[in-house]
């Protein structure tokens, strides 16, 4: 007899944890299926959260009501704000994490969530049914390899690198998506049987070395920030001890050793034919593609307070095991290094994302959602952002609510999803600030202002977070008003904030405002974290003052973007019936099935002339419908 849940999430990685967290917190009975309960939230590769583009997404996940920011603050052991010397649009928070503490934090958060059940198992298949009058099959149930079955209305697949996964190290091949863990083979066959096209991608991981075998004196120290800033809006400060990381470099000897063994590397011997991540290449790829470079940077990152392992960030490799240790020992400071876990590459199945809608529901099967590496992305943060959206939208499907589809002007998460479903990907997709055309408005410091109201409307933002958010917004408006009405050396304080010389503004003591009564807190009550909120308010107004002209320009660009996005394309619109379109345009439009003219405009290979033709047909169709309605009324 099958048990029943409304939503089933397959996989307990970063996408699966967010999907299950969101769906359950929205009051929908949810089941999370994982091959190993202790592996939920595990950091398969680098034990770090955030970075360029990625840190902005973590702040967005937190602002909507997700869990990654909360877990990062609990598990972080070194916090750094990257790109401080550049403009605020590219400031990016990053945290080195204790691998064990981070996973424990995720597991504890999920264990404390109502409406969520967690079971161990491996999914064998998904059953669908074609209901009378429906235009596509709908999800009905799911079965595990051990024979257990569960009825459901929605399934969210977040299988990471485990779909028909194969690990490579030199000539050795082992089934599995992570060292010491298995592969999910049956689910790939099920997805093909459901009519979904599958592709193959590759990722990799570097060796880990013993902490006591590293010569610290020969390494460049990389400390964290003096005052670490939390990821989560709900935390005022990071109180746990911070650790150091180190930097070293490869050299001519390292590169010669790699070149001598390229014929044994799976990517070069032909054993691996799938595409790896362009922006996180293996050390073999670096040596071949950047042959003119005499060295490559390596970050040595401890995996935890009590861990004896160091992650060698920068030398991801699938070279044979007998080559990896001498290669590592050729590096300055690592001459005595002991490899405690060898690097390897993983090949896995993914579903090319043109088959998925902006809600992350598949176009072919109603109630089937995909999130994370199964959509062709790379990275914990990209997976978590998709998992949150998929979980929210699966719950919306069950509850009969409007789905969550954000615009490119609202979040990096939306930029990523739109890139995937509109442009597709043939290599692991990684987020960068350069992918967002409105990045000056999509900053890490204003994620709460952009997205917390959305999270509140969804039901993911609780009263405590909403009260803190409202208090901060009150302080921002109060400080802006105070700065415009008070003067310093003949200028308004706001004028000083807008000066190009930021040191001038930074040198001003804002205690006059902090100690005044002009905060607006009388409406919300004086918060316990008053000083932290006041400093955040000052930062927000300083950025708006300094970059106000650029921000207004982007807002005008966003108005034009909204006009294109408001031009809807009917879901049954037949692009093949437009004879004036080029064959390539017809094929791409039919494949992607854009929902708006704005989305159509972003399809790679479409010309302005193609778009003009589509607009003419939309207008003529609309005029015919208006005429028919008018005639019917008469």
DSSP state letters, 147-164? S-EEE-SEEEE--TT-BT
Low-confidence ranges of the chain (pLDDT < 70): 1-2, 500-510, 512, 514-515, 517-529, 625-634
Name the phi and psi angles at 67, rounded to 5: -110, -15
Range 552-559 contact pairs with CB under 8 angstroms and sequence separation of 24 or more: 554/438, 554/440, 554/441, 555/441, 557/437, 557/438, 558/409, 558/438, 558/441
Task: Give every CB contact of residue 37 below 8 A, 6+ residues apart in sequence.
Answer: 12, 107, 118, 120
Q: Where are the domains of the chain?
A: 3-44+99-202+348-424, 463-551, 567-633
Give the alpha-carbon dihedral of 495, 497, 502, 504, to 10 degrees. 60
pLDDT, residue 321, reads 95
Residue with tokens 């005429």: 627
- Rounded-to-integer distance, Cα 173 and Cα 611, Å: 48
Instruction: List C-alpha distances in Å: 528 to 464, 468, 533, 628.
Output: 12, 10, 10, 63
- Rounded-to-integer distance, Cα 276 and Cα 344, Å: 13
pLDDT, residue 617, reads 87
Instruction: Map residue 271 onto helix, strand or coil.
Output: coil
Instruction: Map residue 300 onto helix, strand or coil.
Output: strand
pLDDT, residue 628, reads 60
Nearest CA to 595 out of 382, 371, 407, 366 is that of 407
Task: Give every CB contact of residue 464 below 8 A, 6+ residues apart in sequence.
Answer: 234
Angle at CA 633, nearest 5°, toward 631 and 634? 65
- The helix, strand and coil proportions of the chain, stated in percent and rounded to the nearest 5, come to 40, 20, 40
- Rounded-to-integer distance, Cα 45 and Cα 315, Å: 12
Nearest CA to 181 out of 209, 162, 200 is that of 162
If one looks up domain 3-44+99-202+348-424 in CATH, what number appears?
A: 3.50.50.60
pTM flag (> 0.95): no
- Contact assessment for residue 333 and residue 245, using Cβ atoms and an 8 Å cutoff: no
Name the phi and psi angles at 570, rounded to 5: -55, 145
Q: How many other C-beta atoms are found inside a 10 Å radius of the C-beta of residue 523?
A: 10
According to DSSP H, which parts of 500-607 are helical?
Answer: 502-506, 511-514, 530-546, 548-565, 583-592, 597-601
If one looks up domain 567-633 in CATH, what number appears?
A: 1.10.150.570
Tens digit of each residue's pLDDT (9 = 90 or more) over 8-42: 999 999 999 999 999 999 999 999 999 999 999 99
- Contact assessment for residue 377 and residue 386, using Cβ atoms and an 8 Å cutoff: yes
User: Helix 548-565 vs helix 530-546: angle between axes, to the nearest 10 degrees?
Assistant: 80
pLDDT, residue 633, reads 62
Q: Report DSSP letters for 430-459, one per residue.
A: ---GGG-TTTTTS-STTHHHHHHHHHHHHT
Helix and strand totals (H; E) in the chain = 21, 24
Instruction: Map residue 531 onto helix, strand or coil.
Output: helix
- Rounded-to-integer distance, Cα 48 and Cα 217, Å: 24
pLDDT, residue 522, reads 54
Tens digit of each residue's pLDDT (9 = 90 or more) over 190-230: 999 999 999 999 999 999 999 999 999 999 999 999 999 99
Q: Locate 293 and state its tokens.
A: 């470079």
Nearest CA to 267 out of 361, 192, 203, 362 is that of 203
pLDDT, residue 629, reads 62
Tens digit of each residue's pLDDT (9 = 90 or more) over 514-539: 667 666 665 555 566 677 778 888 88
- Rounded-to-integer distance, Cα 539 and Cα 553, Å: 21
Task: Give every CB contact of residue 252 below 8 A, 6+ residues apart in sequence.
Answer: 294
* Dihedral angle sign, alpha carbons of residues 370, 373, 378, 384: positive
Nearest CA to 23 out of 346, 397, 494 is that of 397
Task: Give every CB contact of residue 305 below 8 A, 6+ residues apart in sequence.
Answer: 77, 98, 101, 241, 243
- Rounded-to-integer distance, Cα 300 and Cα 309, Å: 10
């Amino acid at each position: 007899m099958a048990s029943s849940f409304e939503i089933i999430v397959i996989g307990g990685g970063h996408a699966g944890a967010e999907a299950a967290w969101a769906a359950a917190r929205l009051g929908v009975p949810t089941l999370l299926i994982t091959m190993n309960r202790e592996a939920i939230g595990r950091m398969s590769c680098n034990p770090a959260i955030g970075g360029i583009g990625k840190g902005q997404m973590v702040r967005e996940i937190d602002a909507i009501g997700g869990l990654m920011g909360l877990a990062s603050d609990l598990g972080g052991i070194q916090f750094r704000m990257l790109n401080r010397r550049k403009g605020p649009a590219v400031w990016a928070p990053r945290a080195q994490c204790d691998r064990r503490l981070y996973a424990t934090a995720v597991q504890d958060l999920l264990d404390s969530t109502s409406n969520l059940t967690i079971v161990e198992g491996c999914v064998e298949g998904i059953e669908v049914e074609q209901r009378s009058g429906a235009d596509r099959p709908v999800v009905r149930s799911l079965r595990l390899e051990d024979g257990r079955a569960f009825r459901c209305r929605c399934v969210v697949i977040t299988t990471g690198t485990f779909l028909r996964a194969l690990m490579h190290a030199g000539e050795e091949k082992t089934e599995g998506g992570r060292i010491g863990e298995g592969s999910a083979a049956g689910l790939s066959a099920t997805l093909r049987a459901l009519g979904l096209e599958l592709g193959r991608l590759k990722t990799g991981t570097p060796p880990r070395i013993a902490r006591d075998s590293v010569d610290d004196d020969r390494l460049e120290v990389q400390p964290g920030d003096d005052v670490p800033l939390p990821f989560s809006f709900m935390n005022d400060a990071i109180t746990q001890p911070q650790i150091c990381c180190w930097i070293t470099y490869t050299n001519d000897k390292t590169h010669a050793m790699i070149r001598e063994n390229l014929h044994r590397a799976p990517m070069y011997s032909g054993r691996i034919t799938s595409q790896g991540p362009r922006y996180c290449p293996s050390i073999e790829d670096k040596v071949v593609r950047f042959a003119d470079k005499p060295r490559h940077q390596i970050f040595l990152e401890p995996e935890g307070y009590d861990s004896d392992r160091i992650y060698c960030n920068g030398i991801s490799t699938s070279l044979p095991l007998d080559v990896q240790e001498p290669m590592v020992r050729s590096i300055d400071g690592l001459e005595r290094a002991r490899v405690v876990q060898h690097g390897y590459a993983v090949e896995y199945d993914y579903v090319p994302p043109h088959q998925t809608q902006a809600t992350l529901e598949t176009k072919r099967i109603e109630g089937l959602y995909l999130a994370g590496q199964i959509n062709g992305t790379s990275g914990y943060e990209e997976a978590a952002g998709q998992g949150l959206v998929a979980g929210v939208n699966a719950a919306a499907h069950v509850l009969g609510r409007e789905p969550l589809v954000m615009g490119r002007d609202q979040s990096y998460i939306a930029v990523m999803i739109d890139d995937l479903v509109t442009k597709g990907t043939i290599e692991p997709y990684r987020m960068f600030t350069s992918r967002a055309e409105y990045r000056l408005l999509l900053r890490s410091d204003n994620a709460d202002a952009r997205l917390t109201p959305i999270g509140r409307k969804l039901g993911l933002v609780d009263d405590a977070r909403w009260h803190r958010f409202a208090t901060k917004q009150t302080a921002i408006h109060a400080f802006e008003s105070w700065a415009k009405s008070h003067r310093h050396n003949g200028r308004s304080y706001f004028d000083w904030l807008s000066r190009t010389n930021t040191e001038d503004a930074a040198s001003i003591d804002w205690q006059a405002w902090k100690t005044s009564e002009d905060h607006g807190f009388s409406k919300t009550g004086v918060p316990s974290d008053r000083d932290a909120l006041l400093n955040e308010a000052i930062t927000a107004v300083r950025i708006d003052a300094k970059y106000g002209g650029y921000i207004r320009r982007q807002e005008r660009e966003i108005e034009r973007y909204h006009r294109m996005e408001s031009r809807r394309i009917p879901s049954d619109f037949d692009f093949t019936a437009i004879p004036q379109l080029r064959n390539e345009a017809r094929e791409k439009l039919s494949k992607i099935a854009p929902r708006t003219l704005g989305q159509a405009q972003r399809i790679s290979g479409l010309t302005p002339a193609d778009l003009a033709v589509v607009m003419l047909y939309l207008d003529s169709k609309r005029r015919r419908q208006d005429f028919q309605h008018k005639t019917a009324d008469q």
